Amino acid sequence: MRKTPQRLVVYIFLILASIMIFIPIVILLFGSVKTTGQMYSHPYSIPNPPYWGNLVQILRTPSFWNMLKNSLIVMMATTIGTVCVCSLVAFVFARLQFRGKNFFSNLFTVGLMFPINVAILPVYFVLRQIEQIGIPMIDTLWGVILVQIAFQLSGNIMILKGFFTAVPSELQDAAYMDGCSNFDFFWRIMLPLVKPSLTAVGSLVMIASWNDLLVPLVILNSNHLWTLPLGTMQFQGQYGQDLALISAFVALSAIPTIVFYFFAEKQIISGLTAGAVKG
Amino acid sequence: MQLSQFVHDKHHVQKEGKKDRRFQNRLVIILFLLPALVLFLLFVIYPIFRSVYYSMYDWKGFGPAVDYVGLGNYKKIFGDEVFIKSIKNVLLIIILSLGLQLPMALILAVLVGRDLPGRSFFRTVFFLPYVLSEVNTGIMWMLLYNADPERGFFNAILVSLGLQPVAWLADMNVVIYAVFITLTWKYFGFHMLLYLTGLQNIPREIEEAARIDGANAFQNFFHITLPLLGSTIKTSVYMSVLGSIQQFVLIWIMTRGGPVNASETMATYMYRFGFVRFQLGYGAAVAIIMFLICMIFSLFYQALTRKPDYLSGL
């Protein structure tokens, strides 16, 4: 009973904070269904009546679908690549003994101190160098994917290593007793057990790749290869004055993320907290 | 004779099998490490050395680097007011994050606590901005910060309260704070999530015992909750500082580091010299400086915060 007024204050506080979170998103969504004129005369009111023209216009542009396609390709390839490559390494670090293990495991932590925002120019040098020996990297989706995977390694190896270590070692002993090889143990026993962790890591990588601007910005030149964030940035540069059209474009590129978040919230959160709390 | 021959053979076969197994296992280790190692060495480690090399040249990106300048680029960088400004901005963002953003996240996490009805709703809401892209976040906030009170939400509120409108992103003295508000909106949910998880790991009994012993809510928070959250706070501070050092996309979208370099950070500075002005040697030196800052901070921080034993169980 004594708790009720206290609770009320807590709720008022939390609801105010939630409103602050929603304001930018709601104003954007409202703006996406306004005419340019409405956007200027009533920028933050409820659109009445809603105007779907801008959304329809963008959805009718082939280049929007092309960006969506590029983003999807990059996201899927980066995610699959990262999850596969990282789980192999995490398994080796968590479960096998060999000479040089400490060295390699420390080597990968260098990546945590050299995040992509710092590394982008150095990486660009190397991409140009690879290009010079005849392997196309700049202005290809492959270049974007490989760089994204490379900079996802350190963090995700750490997260997955935690999950692999948590599997009880009795299981490993029993498996080896029964004649399992390292590969069998990884493939038949470990992978099925850590599947939820793999989806957690996968959904984190999906978001990071989908939202990434910097790597595509530096690597891609041709319009037909642009990903959504890159296209959004260019679109804003081009139509900066037409706030309603910009809002519609941003809304369309943000909605997939929001929908994905509502479906995969549990996985995203478990991946993040595992990484951070263990780190 | 026959029997011993048989035993010998069997022994032999087993040994062969073991050798085979050992070879196979070693092969697994090599093959499993190989793809990650190749990618990592090629795209993460090698670029560091490549940059160190280029950072000693005055190189515009055409042809091989020939104008050797030694540490000239580094001297120029530390003599450049704009770079000093960018370091100050990064420090300001760090101080504001640690002084305002993280405490706010902690307070909200404690308020939501362990068993407030609606807990998961609030968690979902506060974490939502974290999953939105920085590009979209930046553009959304530019709409809000529009200097014209007829169009920008914040100025409309100020005007309706009878105050003067503020040119948020165009005012040299305001812009970095405006950017910080956006950063807070986007990232505090992440820190709150960490604290929520940390709180959940604190045994309920400890707080209850303290309460029975007569500790009030504040004492409980400062003497029980806060110390037991130690390792979570340590992680969140680390991530916040490292995140602030490399802040790029939001600022690039919202201000391009302007007006007149007022919101420049080290990363926007590097991008400008590397990819806009194509002074690649100079940009490489900036990258190396940033890498060293990140590394020195990481090593010092880890050494400083090695936690005392009585906290390590949590």
Long-range own/partner contacts, residues A109-113 (CB < 8 A, 24 or more apart): A109/A154, A109/A158, A110/A154, A110/B44, A110/B45, A111/A151, A111/A153, A111/A154, A111/A155, A111/B40, A111/B44, A112/A154, A112/A155, A112/A158, A112/B298, A113/B242, A113/B291, A113/B294, A113/B295, A113/B298
- Give the pLDDT confidence score for residue B119 in this predicted structure: 87
A168: left (phi over 0), alpha (psi -120 to 50) or beta: beta
- Give the pLDDT confidence score for residue A249 in this predicted structure: 92
Cβ within 8 Å, pair A261-B248: no
- Give the pLDDT confidence score for residue A181 in this predicted structure: 82
Q: Which residues of B touch A186 (CB under 8 A)?
A: 28, 32
Q: Which residues of A touch B133 (CB under 8 A)?
A: 210-211, 213, 229, 232, 253-254, 257
pLDDT tens, chain A, 279 aa long: 456 777 888 899 999 999 999 999 998 998 888 888 887 777 777 887 888 888 999 999 999 999 999 999 999 999 999 999 999 999 999 988 888 899 999 999 889 889 999 999 999 999 999 999 999 999 999 999 999 999 999 999 998 998 898 888 888 888 888 888 888 888 888 899 889 889 989 999 999 999 999 999 999 999 999 999 999 999 988 887 788 899 999 999 999 999 999 998 888 888 887 766 544
Cβ within 8 Å, pair A115-B26: no
Do residues A252 and A64 touch, judged by C-beta distance below 8 A? yes
Q: Which of B179, B144, B154, B182 minimizes the C-alpha distance to A30?
A: B144
A121, A135, A205, A235: best mutation site toward chain B, by most B Cβ within 10 Å? Answer: A121
The answer as to whether A271 is a domain residue is yes
Quickly state the pLDDT bin for B1 (edges 50, 70, 90): very low
Mean pLDDT of B1-24: 62
B41, B52, B104, B135: best mutation site toward chain A, by most A Cβ within 10 Å? Answer: B135
Of B43, B129, B133, the CB nearest to A150: B43
Give per-residue burial for A137-150: e unless 16+ CB within 10 Å, then b: beebbebbbbbbbb
pLDDT score of B9 more than 70: no
A84 CB neighbour count, 10 Å cutoff: 13
The answer as to whether A46 is a domain residue is no
Q: B287 vs chain A: nearest CA distance in angstroms?
A: 6
CA–CA distance, B147 with B35 (Å, rounded to integer): 51
pLDDT score of B308 more than 60: no
Lowest mean pLDDT among A140-154, B43-57, B67-81, B296-310: B296-310
Paired tokens of B34: 């190989």
- Give the pLDDT confidence score for residue A276 in this predicted structure: 62
pLDDT score of B311 more than 50: no
Q: Which residues of A touch B132 (CB under 8 A)?
A: 25, 211, 254, 257-258
CA–CA distance, A194 with A166 (Å, rounded to integer): 9
pLDDT score of B57 more than 90: yes
Q: Mean of the per-residue pLDDT values for chain B?
A: 87
Q: Which of A103, A261, A128 minimizes the C-alpha distance to B124?
A: A261
Of B25, B132, B267, the CB nearest to A117: B267
Range of the domain at A271: 61-278
Cβ within 8 Å, pair A23-B232: no
Lowest mean pLDDT among A132-136, B197-201, B261-265, B286-290: B197-201
Cβ within 8 Å, pair B39-A157: no
Q: Which residues of B touch A43 (CB under 8 A)?
A: 143, 146, 150-153, 156
The secondary element (H helix, E strand) that includes residue A234 is: helix A228-239
- Give the pLDDT confidence score for residue B307 in this predicted structure: 54
pLDDT in tens, A107-163: 998 898 899 999 999 999 999 999 999 999 999 999 999 999 999 999 999 989 988
Q: Look up residue B128 and give its DSSP letter.
A: H
The CATH T-level fold of domain B85-277 is MetI-like fold (1.10.3720)
DSSP three-state, residue B148: coil
Helices assigned H by DSSP within chain B: 2-40, 46-54, 72-79, 81-96, 102-112, 119-131, 134-145, 153-160, 175-200, 204-212, 217-220, 226-228, 230-245, 249-254, 266-271, 280-304
pTM, full prediction: 0.90
Domain count, chain A: 1
The answer as to whether A268 is a domain residue is yes
- Give the pLDDT confidence score for residue A175 in this predicted structure: 85
Of B153, B239, B274, the CB nearest to A276: B239
pLDDT score of B106 more than 50: yes
- Give the pLDDT confidence score for residue B45 in this predicted structure: 95
Percent of chain B whose pLDDT exceeds 70: 91
Radius of gyration over every alpha carbon of chain B, rounded to an integer in angstroms: 28
- Give the pLDDT confidence score for residue A275 in this predicted structure: 65
Q: Which residues of A touch B128 (CB under 8 A)?
A: 21, 25, 258, 261
Quickly state the pLDDT bin for B313 (edges 50, 70, 90): very low
pLDDT in tens, B174-224: 999 999 999 999 999 999 999 998 888 888 888 788 888 888 878 888 888
Q: Which of A203, A204, A250 minimizes the C-alpha distance to A228?
A: A250
Question: What CATH number has the domain bearing residue A274?
Answer: 1.10.3720.10
Cβ within 8 Å, pair B156-A96: no
- Give the pLDDT confidence score for residue B47 in this predicted structure: 95
Q: Which residues contact A158 (CB under 8 A, 6 or more apart)?
A: A108, A109, A112, A275, A278, A279
CA–CA distance, A14 with A33 (Å, rounded to integer): 29
The answer as to whether A9 is a domain residue is no
Residues B19/B21/B24/B29 CA torsion (nearest 10 deg): -110
Quickly state the pLDDT bin for B312 (edges 50, 70, 90): very low
CA–CA distance, B247 with A250 (Å, rounded to integer): 21
Quickly state the pLDDT bin for B24 (edges 50, 70, 90): confident
Do residues A90 and A161 touch, judged by C-beta distance below 8 A? yes
Q: B1 vs chain A: nearest CA distance in angstroms?
A: 31
Output the CA torsion sign for A208, A17, B233, B199. negative
Do residues B33 and A161 touch, judged by C-beta distance below 8 A? no
The answer as to whether A29 is a domain residue is no
Quickly state the pLDDT bin for B6 (edges 50, 70, 90): low
The answer as to whether A103 is a domain residue is yes
Q: Which of A109, A132, A151, A122 minimizes the C-alpha distance to A218?
A: A122
CA–CA distance, A96 with A90 (Å, rounded to integer): 10
